[in-house]
Amino acid sequence: MPFSTDTRTLRPGDTYVAIRGERHDGHDFVREAFKRGASGVVTERKIAGVSTDRVIVVPDTVIYLAELAREKIEQACTRVIAITGSVGKTTTRSAVAQVLKSAGPVVASVGNLNTLLGLSLTLVNSDLKPNTCLVLEMGATRKGDLSEITTYFKPDISIVTNVRGVHLETFGSLDGVQEAKSELVRALGPAGIACLNADDSRTRAMVTYCRGEHLLFGIAPDAQITPLDITANIPLLGGHVIYVALAAFAAGRAVGMEPEVINEALCRLKPEKGRLNRLPGRRQSILIDDTYNASPDAVKSALDVLDKHPAERRIVFLGDMLELGPVEHAAHVSALQEAAIIADLVYGCGPRMQAAVNELPPELARYVQGFPSSKELASELAHGRVYRPKRGDVILVKGSQGARMERVSRVLLAEHISPKSVLPRQTEAWLSI
């Protein structure tokens, strides 16, 4: 019995679960769910005019799904590999899943469904065979988020990629980020294994919270998993890829896989949508789509990739970076400065980037142009204004999810490529926003 929380994607026979969100209350769409063929609904209150024999009323619909998912996990005797970190956790999730597929059945979380609701929905709708490995990316924007998720999905193996200045508006400081991410290690039992980045001081410090074993990965002298273990030719862009491979290698070793099997699996990695994905661009240009999300560190990494890529011209489209707290303005100025140094043309998109353009010194500002939104910029590009790609151009597009920079990539993508096949967030629901 599939479960759905969105009437726009609900299929006949699904059970509709009404979720109270920040902008919408799913209870307002119960009647629409039945019109679309829902077999029943789960709500937190009675709905006037709806027969009670088709409604399950519970105190909290998110917790209802989480408890169903936990029960399903326990019945299947699955092993939970949990992944968190400020940067790189989604690519790491994909790499870990690819490696573990060589050892047995794997179910991995998808897209940005890394909250308690998203993970619960994924798991209740998944076919969990006995002894399946669950590779779950777990996100956190506030202290306690990971503790809540691991209450229902207790990890056997916890992987922490790094601690960076992301979501500082809610965490308050790097110390706050570190404390929140450490909840994933604290959740391990005595038989658990923590796989930690040895080269990130805040991540390696989490060893003290591990009641079981730990595996350190990196180039540090005491790391148990090092680049010498990686013999695979990994088909991904970016210097950070070595840490993705090391984390996946550590996960493989934690479940008892042999090194040669792990390296064979690493050779089969593919880039995630919106994460340094090298694509054909218009007029024989090259598009590097990195629009899934952004932080200051991730922008630096993306610019480094562009700087090292052979090109006749380098073009950068940078969208706003969100949830940076007090460092927001300085981070945007710094990002544009770095972009202007390595690129021939730079376009800042969004109110934060526009404000930062005004702070650039004249020798850099002449290469940079600001736009209020990705929607306006995409429209200008579609009409052949502002910038026209040409052969030899390498174009980087990056920004936080809220900046919607995939609109820009969509316009710059080669005409024969389907946007839905290569770009993130191309559902009808998202495109309608």
SS (H, E, C) 39-79: CEEEECCCCCCCCHHHEEECCCHHHHHHHHHHHHHHHHCCE
Torsion on CA atoms 374, 376, 381, 382, rounded to nearest 10: 110
pLDDT digits (tens, 9 = 90+) for 256-280: 999 999 999 999 998 889 999 999 9
Q: What is the chain's mean pLDDT, rounded?
A: 94
* CA distance linking residue 381 with residue 385, whole number of Å: 5
CA-closest candidate to residue 197, choices 104, 184, 18:
184
Token code pair at residue 272: 């995630």
Give Cα 400 to chain centroid, integer Å: 11
Structure tokens of 241? 């890829």
**Quick one: how far is CA 317 from the chain centroid?**
20
* Residue 115 tokens, joined: 């909250």
**Tens place of pLDDT for every residue, the chain, 433 residues?**
699 999 989 999 999 999 998 888 999 999 999 999 999 999 999 988 887 788 999 999 999 999 999 999 999 989 999 999 998 898 999 999 999 999 999 999 987 889 999 999 999 999 999 989 999 999 998 999 999 999 999 999 999 999 988 778 888 899 999 999 999 999 999 999 999 999 999 999 999 999 999 999 999 999 999 999 999 999 888 888 999 999 999 999 999 999 999 999 999 998 889 999 999 999 999 999 999 999 998 999 999 999 999 999 999 999 999 989 889 999 999 999 999 999 999 999 999 999 999 999 998 888 899 999 999 999 999 999 999 999 999 999 999 999 999 999 999 999 999 999 999 988 877 777 7
HEC sequence for 331-350: HHHHHHHHHHHHCCEEEEEC
Q: Give residues with Cβ within 8 angstroms of 283, minimum separation 6.
A: 388, 389, 390, 391, 393
The C-alpha angle 194, 198, 203, rounded to 5 degrees, equals: 65
| Bridge-based pairing state of the strands 277-280 and 286-290 | antiparallel
Q: Cβ distance 16 to 5 under 8 Å? A: yes
Q: In what order do the strands lie in the sheet with 133-137?
A: 106-108, 133-137, 79-84, 157-160, 193-197, 213-217
As beta bridge partners, residue 25 has 20
Q: Alpha-carbon Rg of the chain, whole angstroms?
A: 23
Q: In what order do the strands lie in the sheet with 345-349?
A: 277-280, 286-290, 393-398, 313-319, 345-349, 368-371
Of the candidates 350, 315, 358, 301, the one whose C-alpha atom is nearest the C-alpha of residue 333 is 358
Three-class DSSP labels, 123-189: HHCCCCCCCCEEEEECCCCCCCHHHHHHHHCCCCEEEECCCCCCCHHHHCCHHHHHHHHCHHHHCCC
pTM: 0.81
Residue with the two structure tokens 């600001």: 370
In a 10 Å sphere around its CB, with 0-12 CB exposed, 13-18 middle and 19+ buried, how is residue 310 labelled? exposed
Q: Which of 368, 257, 278 is nearest to 316 (CA)?
A: 368
Selection from 375, 312, 297 nearest residue 343 by Cα: 312
pLDDT in tens, 80-122: 999 999 988 989 999 999 999 999 999 999 878 899 999 999 9
CA distances from 300 to 273, 290, 295, 352, 370 (A): 19, 12, 9, 17, 19
- Tokens 């579609």, residue located: 382
3-state secondary structure of 369: strand
Q: Give the pair of three-digit tokens for residue 234.
A: 């990994």
